[in-house]
A = this chain, B = another copy of it.
Amino acid sequence: MMSPETDPKIRAWGLLLATHTALVERIELALANADLPALAWYDVLWELEQAPERKLRMHDLAQRIVLSRSNLTRLADRLETAGLLQREACPNDRRGNFLLITDAGRAMRKKIWPVYRAQIVALFSNQIDDKQATVMGDGFASILGALNADE
């Protein structure tokens, strides 16, 4: 499934890839079937909703959701067109823009979540126990920590 080796870590990586692809495909399908926007939109809405003041600098958001800047420009365009967020000029730095989630944006996030959550539960949560989940979560957290540490 991956390589000419049987290292448990290599195995885990290969299965991580396969799991990710398969679950994301299913989740996107469920969202589309419910006439809801894609996962990427949810991520943006969620980050903005979490942020202090419900707004974030674009480049800041781009980093959090690991998206290229150009990509975020256009993703933001779409969300803005849909009325789910607004651009707002940044007073300190005239190059910059904040993205600010609108009420419609918050409502949309709330509407997406149960559908998304149901998929996570059915496909992911129900197949593992809390202990496994914790081990996984901790492992991912170390990996992400190391990644952000070295640069």
Q: With A8-B137, A12-B137 as given contacts, are A22 and B124 in contact (CB-CB < 8 Å)? A: no
Tell me whether A34 is interfacial, beta carbon within 8 Å.
no
The answer to whether A143 touches B23 (Cβ under 8 A) is yes
Interface size bracket, A side: 35 or more
Task: State the copy count for this chain.
Answer: 2
The answer to whether A21 touches B120 (Cβ under 8 A) is no
The answer to whether B143 touches A19 (Cβ under 8 A) is yes
A10-B125, A124-B143, A132-B139 known, 19 other contacts, Cβ within 8 Å: A2-B46, A3-B116, A3-B117, A8-B133, A9-B120, A9-B124, A12-B128, A13-B124, A15-B137, A16-B16, A16-B19, A16-B20, A16-B136, A18-B140, A22-B147, A127-B139, A128-B143, A133-B139, A136-B139
Q: Could you write out 26 A-B pairs with CB less than 8 Å apart?
A: A1-B46, A3-B117, A8-B133, A8-B134, A9-B120, A9-B124, A10-B120, A11-B137, A12-B136, A13-B120, A15-B140, A16-B19, A16-B20, A16-B136, A17-B20, A18-B144, A19-B143, A22-B66, A23-B147, A127-B142, A127-B143, A128-B143, A132-B136, A132-B138, A135-B135, A135-B136
